[in-house]
Structure 1
Amino acid sequence: MLPRRLFLRTLATAAVAPFTALHAAPSASVRIVVEGRGPWGKASPGDIGRVAESAAGELWKWCPQTRMDGIRIYRRPDFPQTDFGRGIDGRIAIGLAVEHQRWSQFAFQFAHEFCHALAQHSAVGIRGWHEPRHANLWLEESLCETASLFALRRMSESWRTRPPYRNWRDFAPHHAAYAAERLAERRHQLPEGRSFRAWFAENENSMRANHALREKNVIVARELLPLFEAAPENWEAIPYLNHGPRVRGRLLREKIADWQAAAPHAHRAFIARLGALLGV
């Protein structure tokens, strides 16, 4: 039997095909502040901020044309959340439900919420429709799950050579292992012998009724992940996700068409490929 650490490293590379190394143009860092000392256990706000900057940076560097206000991170006791409203300082408020020095969990949660911030709070995204519940909200949730997996797998590479602190370099493999463990859970995999297309046809209605069926969001995300790892510049399509008619029950094919029409031409072929994967 493989030792646990070696097993997880193997999963990190085998669960989803490895990405091709690409390099983005430099981009200004996301402006992040972290509230307080007490609620985070043994983790300091400064260190949390560095992890959040690293996680967000793996997405943000592919969004050179996107503009977004600063972010304030606060502690939640229940679940992570990107607030619809802003604080009096005008910052985007993101709550994280993790404490102590669980850096991969911090990165996972923050990358997910940062993706929501791109879709809802960026200069382009804020002009879209953000009804708290609509039939295709599961798509945004699945994209944000994809963002978490993407960021962790990229951080496992970037921290080998450019960690936030030099003594954190040895933590790099843990990010890939965290993503691999999530993908390896049986509930996050397709039933044996079932194609994704067949599974999706059976499960789309339940996701339209409840956007936060996490096990189903992950199954969708593992299909989307190779698309973004092969063409990460398309993270800049996320701010256009919620543009289109304000209709709660819009069909998926209509949702994809709205997104494609709103996005810059450079991202439209990618959105079409994503739609085709979902049977549109």
Structure 2
Amino acid sequence: MNSCRNLLLIGLFVVALAPRTFADEPAKKSLPIYRVDASDFEASEADIRAVCDSAAKQLWRHFPEYDLEPFVVTRGKSGPIVLYQRNDMREIVLKLDTSNTFWSQYAYQFGHEFCHILCRYRPSDGKNLWFEETLCETASLYVLRSMARDWKKSPPYRNWTDYRDSLRDYADDQIRKREHVREIHASGLAAFYRSHAEELRKNATNRELNGAMAVVLLARLEEKPEHWEAVRWLNETAAPKDEALTAYLARWYAAAPEKHQPFIRDVAELFGHPIAVAKPAGNE
């Protein structure tokens, strides 16, 4: 069984590193309401907006019926973050810690923080926050790779077409440098989580661990990107204190629509915490 599981994981990583094309794209929809405060970015508001629009579109296209609170993109200088507290205009504050024209870094950071907003992020005791952080690291990679495909034909500006290679290279570099991916290859994701569970529950933002697990999830979400929508129910209900991972994933499963439940169940099994599903009445 272990050898079969490892072969499956290796296959997933191969898929994650290969170019993807999607025959059926969801219908276009308006982007959520947000503004850009270009102060201190040392780049134009229009250019920052163009990058953020492109990054947001890669995920937002998979949320056909979803209303978000307005948010503002501002310059941060202690790491990218989405604040829990709204500003005086009742906006969510999304901070990017980048500047100038490092568009790949803008996109990478925006993808992560925008995913937190899509997850309906909320304060908790943080014991399972590592899972949301891993999803958001997955979003960063997904956004960059999707933007690279989009910009091949439809860049924000005609003279940005060649920048698609930089977007893809940035994503590939992030994947390559996650050395813990080798450990997942060797032992499987469930064993990897067991080995690092204590650290993850103490430090939700261990980027080396988050990033390695994100490579596995990236393959699943590039294959079936419609399941990005499942994250909107991740924090539908408040987490009890010291909640076990199995209970956390089961609570997500119960909150999500039926169309996303097989995906959530699949992810839970990857982490070695299968969700118990009640059999229909009358079945043995």
TM-score, scaled relative to structure 1? 0.87
Q: 1:215 to 1:156 in 2, by over 3 A?
A: same
C-alpha displacement at 1:245, in angstroms?
5.0
How many pairs were matched up? 259
Identify which range, 189-198 or 98-107, moves more after superposition.
Answer: 189-198
> Alignment partner of 1:84: what SS?
coil
- Matches of 2:182 and 2:45, distance apart in 1: 39
- Matches of 2:48 and 2:253, distance apart in 1: 35
After superposition, where does 1:200-279 map in structure 2 within 5 Å? 200-244=193-237, 246-279=239-272
C-alpha displacement at 1:193, in angstroms?
3.3
2:239–2:248 contact (8 Å) kept in structure 1: no
Matched, 1:62 2:62: yes
- 1:179-235 residue CA offsets vs partner (Å, 9 max, x unmatched): 100110153523373333322221122101110111000011011111111111111
1:15–1:180 contact (8 Å) kept in structure 2: no
1:153–1:176 contact (8 Å) kept in structure 2: yes
- Matches of 2:109 and 2:242, distance apart in 1: 28
2:32–2:67 contact (8 Å) kept in structure 1: no
Q: 1:236 to 1:186 in 2, by over 3 A?
A: closer
> Alignment partner of 1:275: what SS?
helix
C-alpha displacement at 1:91, in angstroms?
2.0
For 2:216, give the aligned amino acid: E
- Matches of 1:183 and 1:97, distance apart in 2: 21
In structure 2, the gaps of 5 or more residues are: 1-12, 274-284
Q: 1:188 to 1:149 in 2, by over 3 A?
A: farther
> Alignment partner of 1:40: what SS?
coil
Per the alignment, residue 144 of structure 1 pairs with 136
Matched, 1:31 2:33: yes
For 1:154, give the aligned amino acid: S
- Matches of 1:135 and 1:13, distance apart in 2: 31
- Matches of 2:263 and 2:189, distance apart in 1: 19
- 1:18-49 residue CA offsets vs partner (Å, 9 max, x unmatched): 33414112111232311134x112x2121111
- Matches of 1:23 and 1:204, distance apart in 2: 37
2:236–2:252 contact (8 Å) kept in structure 1: yes
Per the alignment, residue 5 of structure 1 pairs with none
C-alpha displacement at 1:256, in angstroms?
0.9
Per the alignment, residue 92 of structure 2 pairs with 92
Q: 1:259 to 1:193 in 2, by over 3 A?
A: closer
> Alignment partner of 1:94: what SS?
strand
Q: 1:244 to 1:90 in 2, by over 3 A?
A: closer
For 1:30, give the aligned amino acid: P
After superposition, where does 1:103-118 map in structure 2 within 5 Å? 103-118=103-118
Identify which range, 20-29 or 80-89, moves more after superposition.
Answer: 20-29
Q: 1:89 to 1:245 in 2, by over 3 A?
A: closer
C-alpha displacement at 1:239, in angstroms?
1.4
Q: 1:45 to 1:214 in 2, by over 3 A?
A: same
For 1:171, give the aligned amino acid: Y
